[in-house]
Structure 1
Amino acid sequence: MPRKPKRPCRHPGCPNLSDGVYCEAHRGLYARENAHRRGYGREWRAARDRFLRGHPLCEECLKRGTIVPATVVDHIIPHRGDQTLFWDEGNWQALCKACHDRKTGRGL
């Protein structure tokens, strides 16, 4: 059975071809542990659901005078693997997906 043709590496400016998304030289730059290994397992989902029940509206939208349901629990200060900061509910805020994506895209 024939194999799929190789595709260009998605790393900007890389001329290499790859079987996956990135070539061997750039694969490590984009590697990331799965969500469960980063701490977002069953315990997090239960805590997130409990937090969203207590904070049902997007905090950023409320500041602008708009009522939008919150769907994401955001870490105000990125935890970067620090479990104390990860589980500190004082570091959580309820956001809608659009506000969370906007905040995350800015790197905050």
Structure 2
Amino acid sequence: MALKKFCRHTGCKKLTTTGYCEDHPKQSYDRKRGTSAERGYDHHWRRERKKFLRENPLCIDCYALGKLTPATDVDHEIPHRGDKNLFWDKSNWRARCHSHHSQKTAREDGGFGNGQE
């Protein structure tokens, strides 16, 4: 028998063995969000991301804390939410380690129990 865990849907306290409870099927979030390519993260993005990380090799958040940590992610400081001009505005890009990028994204998007949907 599998161990039950809380439903992965933000704020839901129902227990399940499948990740999402019967009230929150996984496809509801994924369908609204679209694929990474549909959101603009295609081969053009991958090329520009790689170039940006070569030019900005350190995580800006770690650096501010006095740590030298390689940047692995390119973050949009102001979330673009589908705005192509903001998506491609390099002055809005920040080099971050995966940990700091995940923390910032969770704060903005309601992850880790923030209750936003």
Work out whether the TM-score is over 0.5: yes
Q: Tell me which residue corresponds to 2:94.
A: 93
Structure 2 partner of 1:67: 68
State the shift of 1:13 in Å: 5.3
* CA distance in 2 between partners of 1:45 and 1:21 (Å): 31
Letter matched to residue 86 of structure 1 = F
- Give the residue type in structure 2 aligned to 1:82: D
| SS of residue in 2 equivalent to 1:48 | helix
Q: How does 1:33-72 map onto structure 2 within 5 Å?
A: 33-72=34-73
Percent identical: 45
1:106 deviates by 1.2
Deviations 1:49-104 (A, max 9, x none): 00000000001111111000000000000000000000000000000001111111
RMSD across aligned positions (CA): 2.7
Of structures 1 and 2, the larger Rg is shown by 1
Q: How far did residue 107 of structure 1 move?
A: 1.2
State how many pairs are aligned: 100
Instruction: State how far apart, in whole Å, the 2-side matches of 1:93 and 1:13 are.
Output: 35
Instruction: Identify unmatched segments of 5+ residues in structure 1.
Output: 1-9
**Which residue of structure 1 lines up, in the alignment, with residue 79 of structure 2?**
78
Give the TM-score of the pair, scaled to structure 2. 0.71
For residues 13 and 70 of structure 2, the distance between their equivalents in structure 1, rounded to whole angstroms, comes to 41
User: In structure 2, how many angstroms separate the alpha carbons of the residues matched to 1:26 and 1:37?
Assistant: 23
Relative to structure 1, is the Cα distance of residues 64 and 30 closer, same or farther in structure 2, using a 3 angstrom cutoff?
same
CA distance in 1, matches of 2:87, 2:20: 30
Q: TM-score, normalised by structure 1?
A: 0.77
> Which 5+ residue runs of structure 2 have no aligned equivalent?
1-6, 110-117
Instruction: For 1:93 and 1:20, locate their aligned partners in 2 and report how far apart those are by CA, in whole Å.
Output: 32
Is the contact between residue 14 and residue 21 of structure 2 (CA under 8 Å) also seen in structure 1? no
Q: Which letter does structure 1 place at the counterpart of 2:29?
A: Y
1:30 has 2:43 as partner: no
